[in-house]
């Protein structure tokens, strides 16, 4: 192998190693930050899965339990139990499906909307306090990265 070809292979191997290290660091940081954010909850009686279901309803609107199960990557019987728990807490209601009377549509209640809004506010305040520790360049980089992270979250 020529020196030039060997140098190109070394450069490619270094780039691959740097990319792998960056991916690992990103994964680790996002997971740690996500765990810390999950602890900034308003209602400690709700499981992370219940909060996730409420968040999905807030983002996507009403859905059947089957649709929610697919979106949340859980089995339909599990979603039926989750919806029942949320209904008992007054956070969702079940309405007849407009086209298929055998099915129900899950809708969040005003109580759930208010709780989610307070939860978002609390998490935003917590995250803003963390961001105060960044310098101007770091904050600018983080603001620029936000839409990219959002895109990754929805791919």
**52 in any annotated domain:** yes
Both 56 and 79 in one domain: the answer is yes
Both 52 and 105 in one domain: the answer is yes
Both 52 and 103 in one domain: the answer is yes
Write down the pTM of the prediction: 0.72
Both 2 and 34 in one domain: the answer is yes
Q: Which domain holds residue 102?
A: 48-109
For 106-153, what is each residue's pLDDT tens digit? 999 999 999 999 989 999 999 999 999 999 999 999 999 999 999 998
User: Coil, helix or strand for 118?
Assistant: helix
Neighbour-count burial of 71, counting CB atoms closer than 10 A to its CB (0-12 exposed, 13-18 middle, 19+ buried): middle
């Amino acid at each position: 192998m020529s020196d030039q070809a060997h140098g190109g292979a070394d450069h490619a191997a270094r780039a691959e190693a740097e990319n792998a290290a960056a991916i690992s660091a990103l994964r680790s940081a996002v997971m740690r930050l996500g765990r810390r954010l999950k602890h900034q909850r308003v209602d400690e009686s709700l499981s992370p899965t219940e909060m996730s279901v409420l968040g999905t309803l807030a983002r996507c609107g009403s859905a059947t339990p089957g649709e929610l199960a697919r979106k949340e990557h859980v089995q339909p019987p599990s979603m039926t139990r989750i919806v029942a728990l949320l209904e008992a807490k007054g956070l969702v209601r079940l309405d007849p499906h407009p086209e298929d009377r055998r099915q129900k549509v899950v809708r969040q209640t005003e109580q759930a909307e208010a709780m989610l809004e307070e939860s978002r506010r609390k998490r935003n305040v917590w995250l803003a306090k963390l961001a105060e520790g960044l310098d101007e360049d770091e904050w600018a980089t983080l603001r620029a990265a936000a839409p990219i992270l959002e895109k990754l979250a929805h791919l």
